[in-house]
Structures are given as structure tokens and as C-alpha cells.
Amino acid sequence: MSVTRRWASWIAAGLVGCVAVSALQGQQAAPRVTDAILLKPADGDWAGYGRDYAETHHSPLKQIDQSNVSRLAQTAAIEVGSDGKIETTPVVFNGVLYGTSTWSQVYAIDLRTRKVKWQYDPALVRGGTEAMGPRPCCGPVNRGVALYEGKVYVGLLDGRLVALNAETGAPVWAVQTTPPGTDYTITGAPRIIKGKVVIGQGGAEYGVRGFLAAYDSATGKLAWKFFVIPGDPSKPFEDEALARAAKTWSGQWWKYGGGGTPWDGIAYDPELNLVYVGTGNGSPWNAAHRSPGGGDNLYLASIVALNADTGKYVWHYQTTPSDNWDYNAAQPIILADLTIGGRAQKVLMQAPKNGFFYVLDRATGKLISGEPYVFTSWATGIDKETGRPIETEAARYRYTPVRLSPGPVGAHHWPPMAFNPATGFVYYPGQETSSVFAMEEKFEFKEGQWNLGIRRGTPAGAKPVPPPPPDPKAPAPGGFFVAWDPVAQKPAWKIPFLSSGGALSTAGQLIFVGNSAGKFFALDPLSGKTLWEAQLGQGVATPISYELDGKQYIAVMAGISQGKVHTFALP
């Protein structure tokens, strides 16, 4: 089926579907999330994805603390639809919780009545063939919404950005952010910055060109767009930053899309007026096929700072030059003020897939420190002068299979990190992994399929070769949850843990996180000791904390085949 026909089939399936369960008419206008609220949220609100622009996932509420958390009890378990794993971080404002489930469905939950206020279902065509909808690389997940001036903003799997009425769920406007009929997808949560809705997208494996864009929150009109990588050099580049980046590419990368999709991590510094975005992996993965003459391939696998008003490039730091392993840097970003070497510094922190924890000066992008938080056999360290990884001899694999750590799943993926200002630690889940890499003998781009440029299995007619054994220096594969000290650049503590979602920190000196078996924990932030636990359904996502009528609550969405919003409070 042609791209045009496939796009028409999505439209025929229904651009917008909405069930308004409840509507308020003739009443005084409800309070709205404003710029002032986003800049300084009230202690009891969780009005943005990471709660604050620094993306700390930390709540200043402390009614629930170490002395009473053992008495924490479930107050509600509200069912929502799900057809796959829930990955949302909900937001709460004015007594209403807004969260998403799979296939870009949005739910508004009245926290006082504990009932669904309204549900929005965009009625996406579910599938992954030419005759059906978009092909997400990693399931039809959605990680959340944004609130602003009486609207709820959600990115849909098919690349649309939609504004909903916060009271009724009725669509206000919708805009197609990606080229129609292509395999771009949106799974991440939008951010609201100075009246603009900022959103990226995924789809690098299918051969797309990544970009971050901002849209007017009232109308959906495009305000600015930053392409992560340069396009066809025979045409004018969109800006000077891309002209410079093109010098780090070779061959005909633009025919393969190039990748770089910024599908998740975004943060904002209001004082510097900088938007920070983590960018994705190369397309295809193998650098020798993507850019056969070499080069760093900017701005793949990078943290890029942009002017919030114009989207213009300010600085970048590339975590993985000439990415060869799917080590994208689209993971969560946290901003904080730390004292390092006796000097106060405004920093940006990230634990991307490549296995190194980075601390950067967020005004300049200069590397402050970078140390491994897992076993890394692709690089031995980070050169402090150049900021570049010190690659091992095996890292630039060719046709002979080699085993490298981490594997493409990465040492840390999408689950949000949390920063506790009292301990100064960053809390996040990760995993020790490895994978066998070998270069595909001949790369041919295939539309609508994963284009990796790496060989899987044995070539036809060749004698099977046993895969390389695990590195004897490598720890056993498995998951963990860590309290990372970003000043000392080492773990304060680390426990075995099979993660399901991200972390929540609270001023009651508690860390909340769920595991893949459906258990939900409260941990001591200084020791990792379990102080409380509850059994939920599998697929525990990222928790938040809010206050309602003077009482602190913990909320988390969970579920795989059936989703639920779980809330907890003291008796």
C-alpha cells in the first residue's frame, strides 16, 4: 500500500475520538496551569512531567516520612484501558490526575470522587503493516501529557500533537508534527515552555530524520524546529549549526534518514533560557554503513542546548561520537546546583545508554566529569580534556562478531531519574548487559523495516560461528537500582532490582519505585533499605506525589493487559 493510501486509512479510522464522561457548564472557570505555576509549582501539585523544569522528580511534601511510611495504605485503584505496558508519569492539578495508557489514550481522574472524569481515545489503527498504522519500535506506549491554560497536550503515536479541553477532554486543535504516512512516532511527554508545546519523536530504526519542535499552545502553529542532523547537502541547510554538522558526515546518509530522534529527555533552565534535549541513535546503527568516510555524525547521541525562544543551537556535548551501537542519549536529563571541588556549579546530569554518568556545565556544555556506572567494554573511560570516550580496540566491530557491553538496550533507558536535594544523590534503575555485534556485509535500505546495518545470526551458506563468550571481567547480567553520587561519581548504594518504571523522591526522605514483578517499594534514600512495599499489577510505571485537602498521596499507574491508577495515603 502506498504512503498516501496508508495515511488515508489512518484518517478513515478516525482522526479524533473522544468520550466526554463529564462536562462542566455554566460554572466558574476552573484554575489553570500558568507559566508562574510551571516556574514554581505549589508543593502539593505535580503539574509537569518531572514536577519542575529541572526534571528532578522530587516532591517537597513530607507528611509521609520514614516514621510512618509503614502505615501507608491504598486508597484507590481506578481502572483505565490498556493494551500493553503503561509507562506514563501522571500529572495532577486542581484535584484531577491526568495520565496516559497505550495507544495514546488519555484519562482524567477526579481524585475526590475517584472516578474517571473523561477519557480521550484517538482511535488509532492498531498494527504495524503497510495497511495499518505506524510501526513503533518498542510498543504503543505513551509517557504522559502536559497541562497549560486549561488544556491537556498529548503526542499521539502517529505523530500528531493534540490539545484537549482539560475539563471535558474535547479536542481543541490537532497538528501533524511529522511527515504524513511515515514511521515517525511520538511516545514521550510534551513540555510547556514559555507558552510553547515542545515535543520530539522516535522512529530512527525506520530511517527518519529527527527533530525537536515547538508549537504555539493556543493554536498549534509551528513556532520553531531544530533538526538534529543535516539533510541533503545539495539543498540549503536549515541553519548554520547544521552546515557545521554536515562536515562530520560522509556518504549519502540522508537517503537512510540518519536518525537522531529526540524521543524522550527534555529539560529547561529559565535563567539561562535554554532547552536541553537528548538526541537519538544513528540510522542505520552501524556507522560504517551510515557514514562510510567516518566523522562524528553530529548531533547524534548528544545533549543539545537550544534557545527557548527561537530553537537555535547554543551548544552540544556528544556522549557517543559516531554512534555505532544504538547508544542514544535521549534518556532523562536532570538539572541541579552542586558543590564540586568547593565551588557551586550549575550542572546537567544524564545516565545515557552508553554506560557513563555525565555531569556537564549547563551554561557551556563543558564536561565536568564522566564515569562508568556499569561495566563498559566499548570504552575504558572519558578523556577529561576532550570529553570523548576512550574506545577499545573491539569497539569499531567489522565482520567478525564481537561482544560488547552495554548491549543496545543500554545501561539505562527511558525510566525517569529522581534527584534528592538533601542527599545530593540521583536515583535510577539500570542494567548490566552485553550483546554481539557484527557488521552486515552489504547494507540495503528497506523502507518500513528496521535498518540496522548489523548482522544477526549467520550469513546464508556460511559455517555457523559460536558467539563470543561473556567477558570474564563483566558482572553477571541483571538489573539494579542505584543511588548515584554525582560529585564523587560513584554509587552511594546499589541493590539488585528488575525495574519497571522510574523513581520518585520526597522530602519525607523516601524513594518510591516499582519492579517488574509488580511490587511497589518505599526505600531509604541513604541505604536502599526497604521501608514499605505493596503488590500491584505488573508494569508499575513512574510514581508521583501530590496533596489533596491537606493530605499527601502517592500515585502510580500500573498494568499491562489492564491498567489502574493506584493511590496511597496514611490512614
Catalytic machinery residues: 326
Q: Residue 370 contacts by C-beta under 8 Å, 6 or more apart in sequence? A: 356, 357, 358, 359, 381, 382, 387, 489
Q: Which helix (H) or strand (E) holds 493?
A: strand 490-496
Could you give the CA distance from residue 279 to residue 200 in angstroms, rounded to a whole number? 9
Could you give the CA distance from residue 397 to residue 394 in angstroms, rounded to a whole number? 6
Q: Which of 253, 241, 252, 311 is closest to 282 using CA atoms?
A: 253
Could you give the CA distance from residue 102 to residue 268 in angstroms, rounded to a whole number? 27
* 353 backbone φψ class: left, alpha, beta (φ>0; ψ -120 to 50): alpha
CA distances, 568 to each of 300, 398, 553 (Å): 41, 53, 5
Return the C-alpha cell found at 467: 558467539
Q: Residue 539 contacts by C-beta under 8 Å, 6 or more apart in sequence? A: 82, 85, 86, 500, 518, 558, 559, 560, 563
Return the C-alpha cell found at 132: 495499518
Could you give the CA distance from residue 387 to residue 252 in angstroms, rounded to a whole number? 28
Q: Which helix (H) or strand (E) holds 289?
A: helix 287-290
Q: Which helix (H) or strand (E) holds 12?
A: helix 3-13
Compute the residue count for the chain: 571
CA distances, 472 to each of 403, 431, 468, 479, 569 (Å): 12, 17, 11, 18, 47
CB-based contact 434:472 (threshold 8 Å): no
Strand, helix or coil at 374?
coil
Could you give the CA distance from residue 351 to residue 359 in angstroms, rounded to a whole number? 9
